[in-house]
A and B are shown apart, each in its own frame.
Chain A
């Protein structure tokens, strides 16, 4: 009787082991590359982080302000010239050589000294 019970328990053990091997998930050959790629991507991302020296080398912020600075001074002088030109037309409407009491004067109408020359051509 003992032998029968022992045999029966052995059978049960064997059956139980067979069911465990079927339920365990197997990794197929097709699944392996995707898992490997996933691990590679994961390893590349951390490898970018430790290279902070590359980011400052790009230096786009310092390059673009330099270009703006060079353009602005060029535009500024042209604006100054425009204001100077605008001032000149309003400053000097001075008459040169004109009429003076039915005769004629030579020079600027606004000259501080007027010299009347009483003369005969002959």
Chain B
């Protein structure tokens, strides 16, 4: 996501008003598949480390196009998770299978535009400024 995410985290998430669920879209072949699989294997060990890597991937998007296994292993170690456990997950294909399944679910739901935000069942399509998210949050409040 990035963009307005920092402001949403600082205001709506820190206050307990909103939670963000990350749902992978695999729109760029193996580059997308490997990056999401690596993030999933890190998250299996430490959810906070998943969000740390999630933010880093969006900041360093350019590097993901050419990223190999060693790049993800170094990233996992830097995030504080166990190296051998991460390698076992990544090499076994568990992470790849999980994100592939999630991607097929969103396709079955008719979600093809990237990014798409589902805010309490209201769809917001495309990158939007923070103020637009706030309006959606206000209207979605139960």
Q: A100 contacts the other chain (Cβ, under 8 Å)? A: yes
**What's the tally of chain B residues with a CB closer than 8 Å to chain A?**
52
How distant is A67 from chain B, measured CB to nearest CB, in Å? 49
Q: Of A14-22, A78-86, A111-119, which stretch is located at the interface?
A: A111-119
**Residues A122 and B16 in contact in the complex (CB < 8 Å), given A112-B142, A113-B141:** no
A99 close to chain B: CB less than 8 A = yes
B90 within 8 A of A: no
**Measured between C-beta atoms, what is the minimum distance from A86 to chain B in Å?**
23
Residues of A contacting B17 with CB < 8 Å? 111-113
Q: Which residues B61-75 have CB closer than 8 A to chain A?
A: 61, 64-65
Q: What separation, in Å, do the CA atoms of A100 and B13 have in the docked complex?
A: 16
Give Cα A116–Cα B24 distance, bound, in whole angstroms.
Answer: 10
Check if A71 is an interface residue, CB within 8 A of chain B: no
Partner of A109 from B19, B28, B65, B133 at Cβ < 8 Å: B19
In this complex, how many residues of chain A approach chain B with their Cβ under 8 Å: the count is: 26
Q: Give Cα A106–Cα B17 distance, bound, in whole angstroms.
A: 12
Q: How far is the CB of B24 from chain A (nearest CB, A)?
A: 7
Closest A residue by C-beta to B101 = A102
* A114 proximity list for chain B (CB < 8 A): 18-19, 21, 118-120
Q: Say whether, besides A105-B19, A107-B16, A119 and B25 are in contact (CB < 8 Å).
A: yes
Q: Across the interface, do A118 and B25 meet the contact criterion of CB distance under 8 Å?
A: yes
Is A26 interfacial (CB-CB < 8 Å)? no
Q: Does B9 sit within 8 A of A, measured CB to CB?
A: yes
A residues within 8 A CB of B27?
A: 120, 122
- Chain B 37-79: CB-based contact to A (< 8 A → 1; otherwise 0): 0011001000110110010011001001100000000000000
Using A102-B98, A104-B43, A111-B16 as known contacts, say yes or no to A117 and B23 having CB atoms under 8 A apart: yes
Q: Which 10 A-B pairs have the closest CB atoms?
A: A107-B19, A116-B118, A111-B19, A121-B57, A107-B13, A118-B116, A119-B115, A120-B25, A113-B18, A108-B16
Interface residues of B (CB under 8 A from A): 1, 8-9, 12-13, 16-28, 31-32, 35-36, 39-40, 43, 47-48, 50-51, 54, 57-58, 61, 64-65, 98, 101-102, 106, 111, 114-120, 133, 137, 140-142
